[in-house]
Amino acid sequence: MERPYHFLTGGTGLVGAYILHDLLRSGHQVAVLARPCKKQSPKQRIESILAYWERETGKKLPRPVVIEGDLQDDSWRERYARWFKSNCGSVIHSAASLTFYGDSGGEPWRSNINGTKKILSICKDYGIRRMHYISTAYIAGSSRWFSEDDFDRGQILRNDYEQSKFTAEKLVREASFLDRPTIYRPSIVVGDSQTAYTTTYHGFYAVLKLAHTLVRRMPLGSTSGRNLLGALGMDGSEHKNFVPVDWVAAVFDHIFSNPQFHGQTYHLTSPQPPLLRDFVDVVQDAVETYSSLATESDPYRASENWFFQNYTDQVQVYKAYLQDDPAFDSTNTQMVAPHLPCPVMDVDLMMFLARDAILSQFGKKVNVPVVERIVESARKPTLELVGKS
């Protein structure tokens, strides 16, 4: 019998945890790499993730094989060598660092390039020929239009994250010991379109969190997100390509579960990305509605100039992120998954995600109760996921 297991990295991250759930729910046999953290062993970390899914769906999931190890440390490989040779038929490499800027020996280079090299070494040494690689649509860099067939067009890569992911995808593409890899390029992944659930607060959330922190010294109505756009040299007509994690995982699971779709590159991107002016309006409305604001009598309240100075200083690291996104062609994705249209990231959905992030204190406390989230989400169209609980 062919090696039945699929080896998943990044299963404790947001996208990886959704992929893990969908693969197990679809009946695939999965092994997942996990390292210990301060309070939990690798097996306990995976068990916590599966327990969450079982509470949310009310359905029992099968358990994966847990490979206990760190992607940056090869010491675990020898312990599992026989298992890989006998059982592992494909690799799903989802582990990655989202760090925008770093030094040459740290992140994002360590995870995105060195980690990918280690996974490719496992494939080569243990005869694993099938690779599913989670890249990013932002290898497009400075391109204004980027197709799924495009790779190196001489585009300018605007930060260390884009450069490291470009290099990692190049390594995967050039690995002669693999069959033609299947490459998935999501854009900016945000929380669940139905529950707002997320475990990471980058991108969309980082900009929101900065505003949430600063407005504690501002009275209601004293700031304007659109004025901030001018301070950053933008006019609001730029687009940001946000995609919800549940949709990304659903499309991945559909492609993965149908081998006739393998060996292609897929843009997991929205054909209707929101305008930057709508995004900053949501940030402003969300913090004015759900954040703690200063009163007129607060002796520590600050002026609008103070807000703009601090915001523009601290948001510089995200300036490339806030630039106009390329137009991402997604012909391959739409051809193989026409039944899974990307939810439109309109003002209501962005506000839904922002509200949950602020009320959960950006992950510091338990998210808004599930029942409340479901009631809130009832006003939005349901994302139809085939076989999704």
The amino acid that residue 130 corresponds to is R
- Could you tell me which residues come within 8 angstroms of residue 206 by beta carbon, excluding any fewer than 6 positions away? 318
Any alpha helices (H) in the chain, and if so which ranges?
14-25, 42-57, 77-87, 109, 115-125, 160-173, 204-214, 225-231, 245-256, 276-290, 304-314, 319-322, 331-336, 347-359, 370-377
Alpha-carbon distance of 308 to 320, in angstroms, equals: 18
Name which of 4, 32, 36 is nearest 20 in CA terms: 32
In the chain, % of residues over pLDDT 70: 86
- Reported as a pLDDT band with limits 50, 70 and 90, residue 317 is low
Q: Both tokens of residue 18?
A: 């959704």
Q: Are strands 182-186 and 88-93 parallel, antiparallel or unpaired?
A: unpaired
Cross-strand partners of 265: 183
6 neighbors 234 (Cβ within 8 angstroms): no
**What is the reported pLDDT for 314?**
74
Of 10-24, 268-282, 319-333, 364-378, the poorest mean pLDDT is in 364-378
Q: Is the peptide bond before 186 cis (omega within 30 degrees of 0)?
A: no
Name which of 205, 203, 240, 204 is nearest 328 in CA terms: 240
The amino acid that residue 313 corresponds to is D
223 neighbors 38 (Cβ within 8 angstroms): no
187 neighbors 243 (Cβ within 8 angstroms): yes
Q: Both tokens of residue 213?
A: 């922190």
Give the tens place of pLDDT for each residue, 82-123.
Answer: 999 999 999 999 999 999 888 878 999 999 999 999 999 999
Residue of higher predicted confidence among 335 and 385: 335
**What's the first-to-final CA gap in the chain, in angstroms?**
30
Name which of 38, 43, 93 is nearest 67 in CA terms: 43
Mean pLDDT of 334-361: 97
Alpha-carbon distance of 110 to 117, in angstroms, equals: 10
**What is the reported pLDDT for 376?**
40
Name which of 69, 57, 127, 62 is nearest 95 in CA terms: 69
Please give the backbone phi and psi of residue 167, each rounded to the nearest 5 degrees, phi first: -65, -40
Alpha-carbon distance of 302 to 322, in angstroms, equals: 26
**Greatest Cα-to-Cα distance within the chain, rounded to the nearest angstrom:** 74
Name which of 112, 33, 43 is nearest 74 in CA terms: 33
**Model confidence, pTM:** 0.90
Domains of the chain as residue ranges with CATH: 5-190+243-270+326-343 (3.40.50.720), 191-242+271-325+344-381 (no CATH)
The amino acid that residue 167 corresponds to is T
Give the tens place of pLDDT for each residue, 178-233.
Answer: 999 999 999 999 999 999 999 999 889 988 988 888 777 766 665 666 766 776 67
